[in-house]
Amino acid sequence: MNRLRLGRGLVLLLCGVYFFVPLGASLYFSIDDHHGNVAFNAYTSLLSAPGFLDALYLSLELAAATVVLLLVLLVPALLAARLGAPKLRPVIEVVCSMPLVVPVVALTTGIVGVLRWGPDYLANTPIFQTFVAIQNPNFPVVLLIAYVLMALPFAYRALDGGLRSVDVVTLVEAARSCGASWPRAVFSVVLPNLRSALLSASVLTVALVLGEFTTASILGFQPFSVWINAYGKTDGQMSVAVSILSLLIVWVVLLLLSVLGGRTRKAARS
């Protein structure tokens, strides 16, 4: 028992050194004024930098929209497969896992090809305006579509794990036998039992969207990750401050989601 505790403590110590020593060194570098004093100029100038809030708002909006669209598409499909068409489960699993075998660069290159092909062949059709609208830099829908595809495998695994731990068929039959309609059986009985799976899928999606850089950069949009890369090139100390700030923002968002999920569980139990 003592050896087990010693082993756990050693592993935790090594993990702490591995994660927190680089962060501590980066934080010290970002607040050192090269004369042994502490200065927060890198952070204060960063918060007032042009485009900071716009890029942050865009990333948060894209993250929220991606979570909503992903759950709206995936949850009904998985529930329908569980309740009425179990033979479709392998098909859905294969479809949802396909983005894992497609490199992000290849996916983005395909999107760029479609966007370039559209204006050439659809310029005189109403669909052309659709190509223009989905590339609106204020809210690029094309980026939202790409994020949904990239987050699909992770959200599917989280939701599928939650569905495997719940007897959905029995829950729905019990609710229906008590007089509940189909929508009420799903929203009042099934979804509350999938709360942890829904929260896990949302957290994974938010983390992916806030940290994604390649697709947004190639398509020419500027969410927070791209803004960090562009603005951090001007000053070495500021680039480190930007990296630390981005980590803090991601951690705060994920912490808020976890707290929200915990409060919802307590409310459901009470």
pLDDT digits (tens, 9 = 90+) for 34-48: 777 777 777 777 777
Query: Does the pLDDT at position 224 exceed 80?
Result: yes
Query: Does the pLDDT at position 61 exceed 90?
Result: yes
What residues have CB less than 8 Å from 190, skipping those under 6 apart? 79, 166, 168, 171, 172
Q: Residue count of the chain, please give it.
A: 270
Q: Which amino acid is at 127?
A: I
Nearest Cα neighbor of 108 from 67, 149, 69, 57 is 149
Domains of the chain listed by start with CATH number: 47-268 (1.10.3720.10)
Token pair listed for 248? 């803090």
Highest mean pLDDT among 65-69, 192-196, 232-236: 65-69
Token pair listed for 50? 């042009």
Distance between CA atoms of 221 and 224, rounded to whole angstroms? 10
**In the prediction, which pLDDT does 1 show?**
61
Mean of pLDDT values over 246-266 = 71
Mean pLDDT computed over every residue of the chain: 83
Kindly report, residue by residue over 7-34, the tens digit of the pLDDT.
888 888 888 888 888 888 888 888 887 7
What 3-state class would DSSP assign to 32?
strand
**In the prediction, which pLDDT does 265 show?**
58
**In the prediction, which pLDDT does 262 show?**
62
